[in-house]
Amino acid sequence: MSSQAAPIRPRLDASAFPSLGPGQLRSGRDVDAIDEVLPQAHEWSGKQLQLHGYVVPGSIMRKRDSLEWRFKVQNNPARAAGTSGGVVDATYTGIVPDTFKDEAEVVLKGKLTPTGFHTDPNGVMAKCPSKYEAQEKSASAGT
| Beta strands per DSSP E along 20-104 | 23-24, 30-33, 48-55, 61-62, 68-74, 87-93
CA dist list (Å): 106 to 40, 73, 99, 109, 132: 21, 8, 9, 10, 14
Q: Which of 10, 14, 5 is nearest to 126 (CA)?
A: 14
Beta bridge partners of 74: 54, 87
Q: For the segment 8-55, what is each residue's pLDDT rounded down to a tens digit?
A: 333 333 344 444 444 444 334 578 999 999 999 999 999 999 999 999
Q: For the segment 47-91, what is each residue's pLDDT rounded down to a tens digit?
A: 999 999 999 999 999 999 999 999 999 998 877 777 778 999 999
Neighbouring residues of 82: CB distance < 8 A, sequence distance ≥ 6: 76
91 vs 117: CA distance, rounded Å: 6
The CATH class for the domain spanning 26-141 reads mainly beta
The pTM of the full predicted model, rounded to 2 decimals, is 0.70
47 vs 3: CA distance, rounded Å: 27
